[in-house]
Amino acid sequence: MNYNKKSIEDIEVAGKRVLCRCDFNVPTKNGVITSDKRIVAALPTIQYLVEHKAKVILCSHMGKPKGEWKPELSLKVVADRLSELLGQEVIMAADVAGEDAKAKAAALKEGQVMLLENTRYMKGETKNDPELSKELASMADIFVNDAFGTAHRAHSSTAGVADYLPAVSGYLVQKEVSIMGKALADPERPFVAILGGAKVSDKLNVINNLLEKVDTLIIGGGMAYTFQAAKGSSVGKSLLDESKIDYCKEMMAKAEAKGVKLLLPVDCVVASDFPNPIDGPIEVKTVPVTEIPDDMEGLDIGEKTQAIFAEAVKNAKTVVWNGPMGVFENPTLAKGTIAMAQALADSDATTIVGGGDSAAACEQLGFADKITHISTGGGASLEFLEGLELPGIACLQDK
Ligand code: ADP
Ligand code: MG
């Protein structure tokens, strides 16, 4: 996949109707937005379009209405909040690509902004229905994709519409593509990737693809135990994906053949049970990974492992991290994840964090501003690391 894509700065937008796909999938409670982070993140692109005299038509999905007109998933709340943040009216359309949206789009003046209704009100959206894509495209002259979180989906408003309009990236997508694209295509070395999280099976293809690119692959979190079992240890009650033991053996052999350093935990923090509630008090001890008691389960990496992993990060020039090192939701089991976040924060390498839980961990633990880039798309960043082509990015014009 070519990561060198045109952005809004590479196309003339003045006087043009610009359909801009945003990620306004904000959390709400009783009809009130509980975090406007995603709306705030979209402002630079919207402001650029307004300042450069485009006629701005914004669109997004919210939640999963599955083709039904669910009033509680209306984007009206987003239009209201966006009006406040922009300091100008955001005209709300009553439909997605119907009569009202078309009339309002046709009447837009330069610098004005409107928002279409929830794209997933339309059954065709998630099917990438060409009819819906055409209707959406008919309102505009240019398509801008600024929603990275849905870039791995081929939907009408994320990719299909680009069949009918010149398409470029907004600032958010541009940042994701340029930073992650560079890391994968032409990284400064040593390139270290850290994988964690619950299961090997979630990230099979990521492991396989990263072994083609990195100098060191660090594996922690719940997925490490299947590797440990593949090395012949018993792992007690730890998370184990028995059907993936052979796969782990294959990956260890591949690492060896490629000269990639594969780092696995040497010690771990164990408890008799998974914490319940997840953030409740828990009694733990640290043991070597080869000595996990049969009736206990590994829930975090131990201190020796933290030091080994941190040392590998220290010498890196590019670091990609996906997946927490332990059950970070529990303060007693967050230490390994904190140690990795600290190692990234202390490093002068380009540091990239992808994955919903890893990003949340970095933010919760207060490291977000010390990381070069925290991806806004969990699933999308994972597919990126797998080396897959993302439809919402592939559809954009090459530079
Ligand atoms: P991301 O969203 O960053 O890609 P994942 O969804 O793959 O990460 O994994 C996150 C989850 O993995 C967290 O909820 C965490 O509690 C869990 N986890 C991490 N280590 C362990 C472990 N040793 N045992 C069980 N669960 C774990
Ligand atoms: Mg997750």
Structure tokens at 31: 């009809």
73 Cα–ligand 2 center, Å: 23
Q: Which amino acid is at 146?
A: D
With respect to residue 49, please indicate whether it lies within any of the assigned structural domains. yes
- What integer pLDDT is reported at residue 26 of this predicted model? 95
Closest by Cα among 232, 231, 238 to 252: 231
Q: How far is the CA of 211 from the centre of ligand 1 (A)?
A: 21
Q: Using omega within 30 degrees of 0 as the cis cutoff, is the peptide bond preceding 331 cis?
A: no
Q: How far apart are CA 20 and CA 52, in angstroms?
A: 14
pLDDT at residue 377, rounded to an integer: 84
Q: Does any domain span residue 397?
A: no
Atom of ligand 1 nearest to the CA of 199: 7
**Within a domain: residue 315?**
yes
Non-local (6+) Cβ contacts of 342 within 8 A are 310, 367
- Per DSSP, the residues of 309-377 read HHHHHHT-SEEEEES-SS-TTSGGG-HHHHHHHHHHHH--SEEEEESHHHHHHHHHTT-GGGSSEE-S-
- pLDDT score, position 376: 82
Whether residue 191 sits in one domain with residue 166: no
Asked if 85 and 225 sit in the same domain, the reply is no
Cα–ligand 1 centroid distance for 238 (angstroms): 12
Show which of 173, 198, 219 is a domain's final residue.
Answer: 173
Average pLDDT, 10 consecutive residues per value, the chain (399 residues)? 92 98 95 94 98 98 96 97 98 98 98 98 98 98 97 97 98 94 91 94 92 96 97 96 96 98 98 96 97 98 98 96 95 96 95 90 90 89 89 96
Same domain? For 98 and 136 the reply is yes
Residue of 235, 344, 357, 358 with the most ligand 1 atoms within 8 Å of its CB, for mutation: 357
CA of 268, closest atom in ligand 1: 23
How confident is the model at residue 98, as a pLDDT? 97
- Residues recognised as catalytic: 38, 199, 356, 379
132 and 267 housed in the same domain: no
Ligand 1 pocket test target in 194, 203, 328 with most atoms within 8 Å of CB: 328
- What ligand has the least distance to the C-alpha of 198? 1
Residues linked to residue 19 through DSSP beta bridges, in sequence order: 57, 143
Centre of ligand 2 to C-alpha 358, Å, is 7
Instruction: Verify that 209 and 143 share a domain, yes or no.
Output: no
Q: Which domain holds residue 300?
A: 187-386
Residue 294 CB neighbours (<10 A)? 8
CA gap 321, 337 in Å, rounded: 11
Q: Answer whether 245's CB lies under 8 Å from 230's CB.
A: yes
Q: Is 179 part of a structural domain of the chain?
A: no
Q: Which helix (H) or strand (E) holds 37?
A: helix 37-51
Place of tokens 């209306």: 74
> Which residue's CA is the closest to the ligand 1 atom numbered 22?
222
- For residue 26, being part of any structural domain is answered with yes
Domain termination site, one of 173, 196, 214? 173
User: Which pLDDT score is estimated for 202?
Assistant: 87
Contact 171, 45 (CB under 8 A): yes
DSSP per-residue letters across 119-167? GGGSTTGGGT-HHHHHHHHHT-SEEEE--STTTTS--TTTTGGGGTS-E
* Ligand closest to CA 382: 1
- Name the domain boundary from 173, 203, 228: 173
Q: Can you say whether the dihedral through the CA atoms of 181, 380, 78, 110 is positive or negative? A: positive
Asked if 222 and 268 touch (Cβ cutoff 8 Å), the reply is: no
Same domain flag for 109 and 249: no
The torsion angles phi and psi of 354, rounded to 5 degrees, stand at -130, 165
340 and 235 assigned to the same domain: yes
What distance in angstroms lies between residue 326's CA and the mean position of ligand 2's atoms? Answer: 12
Q: Strand ranges (DSSP E) for 22-88?
A: 28-29, 32-33, 55-59
Question: Can you give the CATH number for the domain in which 271 is found?
Answer: 3.40.50.1260
Of 218, 265, 224, 262, nearest in space to 241 by CA:
224
**391 found inside a domain:** no
- pLDDT score, position 282: 97
Measuring from atom 24 of ligand 1, which residue has the nearest CA?
222
Q: Is residue 61 part of a domain?
A: yes
Give this prediction's pTM.
Answer: 0.90
Pocket of ligand 1 (CB under 6 A): 196-198, 202, 221-222, 239, 298-299, 322-324, 326-327, 329, 355-358, 378
pLDDT computed for residue 25 by the predictor: 96
Question: CB within 8 A of 220, min separation 6: which ones?
Answer: 194, 195, 196, 265, 301, 305, 309, 323, 325, 326, 336, 340
What's the CA gap between 303 and 57, in Å, rounded?
52
Instruction: Indicate if 234 and 292 belong to the same structural domain.
Output: yes
Say what the pLDDT of residue 129 is: 98
Q: Are residues 146 and 235 in the same domain?
A: no
Q: Are residues 160 and 202 in the same domain?
A: no
Q: How long a stretch of residues is the chain?
A: 399
How many structural domains does the chain have?
A: 2
- Are residues 168 and 54 part of one domain? yes
Q: CB under 8 Å to 59, separation ≥6 — which residues?
A: 19, 20, 21, 22, 96, 115, 116, 119, 136, 157
Pairing of the two strands 285-288 and 267-271: antiparallel
Let me know whether 195 and 322 are in one domain.
Answer: yes
**Residue 398 is assigned to a structural domain of this protein:** no
Of the CA atoms within 13 Å of residue 280, those in its CB half-sphere come to 7
